[in-house]
Amino acid sequence: MSTDKEEFALYCEAKNDKVRKRLGIKGGFYWTTAKKLSVAISRCITAMDDNDYDEDDFKKPVRVNLPVVDDLPPEGVFDTEFCNRYEKGGKDGITMTFIGPSPSVQDKPASTDNTNINGEAMTEIEESMLLPVSGQELPIRWLAQHGSEKPVTHVSRDELQALHIARAEELPAVTALAISHKTSLLDSLEIRDLHKLVRDTDKVFPNPGNSDLGLITAFFEAYLDADYTDRGLLTKEWMKGNRVSRITRTASGANAGGGNKTDRNPNLVHTLDTLDVEIAAATLPMDFNIYEIPGSVYRRAKEVVLNKESPFKEWSAALRATPGILDYSRAAIFALIRSAHPEFYHYPGRLQGYINAYLTETDHENPSKETLTAARHTPEKDILEEINREVVTERETEEEKPQPSDAMAGEQATTETMEPDTTEHGQNAQSLDAQSQVSSANQVKVTADEVNKIMQAANISQPDADKLLAVSRGEFVEGISDPNDPKWVKGIQTRDSVNQNQHESERNDQKAEQNSPNALQNEPETKQSEPVAQQEVEKVCTACGQTGGGNCPDCGAVMGDATYQETFDEEYQVEVQ
């Protein structure tokens, strides 16, 4: 194979007179060193495009003899000014010859008339001369590209004057404001890029006079920030009404969607990362309100994502590869995962086939009742938990109020038995849309009227206040407590409840007797459990040897150590055991 290179000189003549007038040139000249003519022609077309010239405006490049002149353009540069001084001709027809002044003009003395060296009036030439658009103001450049299929790089004086008139009459005010607000972003654009932006803006906003200024400027930013290959998809999404800021792609390069309205919070920026949290929450076994996810469930879902546990890992890989996955509602994602066979995730091919077959939602903003049922969406649980939290909060507020001095003894025993079980009712509902843990101290207190309205709207009957208080103490209440909970298994419930209540009653009675001056007088009444005929014989005081009481400290109103030990020793030993 030959490695010799040679010099190729190419002449590209303007296609017709219309092109000559529009561009103000006769043709273009290019030369380079290459092995073959085809390579030189390819480089010439590339250089032509680099100078913002269209290949269709010129005839096919013709090889000519390389001229040996001082003003030869540099190698690899497409030069149009060279063709104003030299033209293709000569004896062989392929030699670039110098264009000299006509003899009649050379013989004439210098004139003060406004003519060029060819004797042509400069006024006519200037009127037919094309002016570059790139040097005009940004609104003029914008209007020059409006309605044109190709980038407009040069205009005549008449066309430029018409553009200035159209700026005041035809350019919508909202478009002019959008251009002025984003001048720093648009001013540096090349004519080719500006033409594409104008073309796509006209597609998205066919009637800019009725459009919102904020939307137009947002489209400018999203369009210019997007990758060059994604701008077409971005324009199509905006034409559909999906105001996306960028194009999210799956691992295979397909469009992941995410610009349409769904059942999620409209302020949520839904991405593949937020989708992972939803997938992890859907793989958990418990039922909850999928739009107000409890804090404990949300934290567990974040752990699953962080640790990449199964089956979340397999579901995430399959759904992330699904085109348009971000378009589907949260209910559809939950229903899809919770309706699948529990062993599907072991088989990637079968799992992907299941997703393609059953992910057929059309109304992403309003999921059907069947979809919500399959997702195991239970909003009523959050309402009951909110009511329980309200009752506990009100009771704690009452307990914190200052008590009279004469009621302190009785209140002490009551508060010990009324301590709430915060482990069951202390969870906070966590909104996944907010993506942050909400502290119970920052929650807004709900009034009783608001709770009633919420329950009426959800068709939930209002439970009795006594039952709610019993639930808060950890007792079983039919209709509210979960009968399937292991602690409420039949047989265990009755025994635990009786033992617990009995121990609490004994402790409360003992504390009340210690603080009461009539403890000894009330003791026989509280201890009497047999008929009157079987009462025990009155005891004799071991200290003074007398009956009836009141004769010494041990049998008086305040019992002594001996009497106290004899009276309560048996009960005390049972309690300790």
Q: To which H or E segment does residue 14 belong?
A: none
Q: To which H or E segment does residue 319 belong?
A: helix 312-320
Nearest residue to 171 (alpha-carbon basis) of 150, 149, 199, 140: 140
- Residue 277's pLDDT is 93
Determine contact, residues 178/216, Cβ cutoff 8 Å. Answer: yes
- Residue 307's pLDDT is 93
Determine contact, residues 251/339, Cβ cutoff 8 Å. Answer: no
Task: Say how many residues make up the chain.
Answer: 577
Please identify which residue in the block is written with the tokens 């309560």.
Answer: 568
CA angle centred on 110, ends 104 and 114, rounded to 5°: 95
Determine contact, residues 261/365, Cβ cutoff 8 Å. Answer: yes
SS (H, E, C) 201-247: HHHHCCCHHHCCHHHHHHHHHHHHHCCHHHHHHHHHHHHCCCCCCCC
- Residue 348's pLDDT is 86
DSSP string computed for 335-352 = HHHHTS-TTGGG-HHHHH
How is residue 311 annotated by DSSP?
T
Q: To which H or E segment does residue 17 belong?
A: helix 17-23
Determine contact, residues 42/36, Cβ cutoff 8 Å. Answer: no
Nearest-angstrom CA–CA distance, 93 and 526 = 135
Nearest-angstrom CA–CA distance, 320 and 314 = 10
SS (H, E, C) 105-134: HHHCCCCCCCECCCCCEHHHHHHHCCEECC
What distances in angstroms separate CA 278 from CA 254, 262, 550, one per listed residue?
Answer: 21, 14, 76
What distances in angstroms separate CA 566 from CA 49, 508, 534, one per listed residue?
Answer: 114, 20, 21
DSSP string computed for 50-115 = HTT--GGGBPPPEEEBPP--TTPPPTT--BSTHHHHEEEESSSS-EEEE-PPPHHHHHSPP--SSB
DSSP string computed for 475-542 = ---TTTS-TTSGGG-TTHHHHHHHHHHHHHHHHHHHHHHHH-TTHHHHHHHHH--S-GGGPPPPPPPT
Torsional sign, CA 396, 397, 402, 407 = negative
Determine contact, residues 260/244, Cβ cutoff 8 Å. Answer: no
pLDDT in tens, 293-325: 888 899 999 999 999 999 999 999 999 888 888
pLDDT in tens, 491-508: 444 444 445 555 555 555
Please identify which residue in the block is written with the tokens 């199509």.
Answer: 236
* SS3 state of residue 13: strand
- Residue 85's pLDDT is 87
Residue 79 CB neighbour total at 10 angstroms: 17
Nearest-angstrom CA–CA distance, 141 and 153 = 9
* SS3 state of residue 27: strand
Torsional sign, CA 437, 440, 444, 448 = positive
Residue 57 CB neighbour total at 10 angstroms: 19
What distances in angstroms separate CA 261 from CA 56, 244, 256, 517, one per listed residue?
Answer: 44, 11, 14, 73
Cβ-based neighbours of 283, under 8 Å, separated by 6 or more: 304, 311, 312, 315, 337
Here the contacts of 307-313 (C-beta below 8 Å, separation 24 or greater) are 310/345, 311/283, 311/342, 311/345, 312/276, 312/279, 312/280, 312/283
- Residue 410's pLDDT is 44
pLDDT tens-place values along the chain, 577 residues long: 556 788 899 999 988 888 888 888 889 999 999 989 899 999 999 999 888 888 888 999 999 988 888 888 888 899 988 888 888 887 888 888 888 665 544 444 444 456 666 656 666 666 667 888 888 888 888 988 888 888 888 888 888 888 888 887 778 888 888 888 888 888 888 889 999 999 999 998 988 878 888 889 998 988 888 887 788 888 888 887 878 777 777 766 676 777 678 888 887 878 888 899 999 999 999 899 998 888 889 999 999 999 999 999 999 999 988 888 888 999 999 999 999 988 888 888 888 889 888 888 888 888 998 999 998 998 876 555 655 655 666 666 666 655 544 444 444 434 343 343 433 333 445 455 544 434 333 444 455 565 556 556 555 555 565 676 676 667 777 767 777 776 665 544 444 444 555 555 555 555 555 554 444 444 444 444 444 444 445 666 665 666 666 666 556 555 555 555 555 555 545 454 4
Query: What is Dmax (Cα atoms) for the chain?
Result: 164
Burial of 160 (0-12, 13-18, 19+ CB in 10 A): middle
Q: To which H or E segment does residue 362 belong?
A: none
Q: What is the pTM of this model?
A: 0.39
User: What six digits make up the tokens of 385?
Assistant: 């938990």
- Residue 199's pLDDT is 92
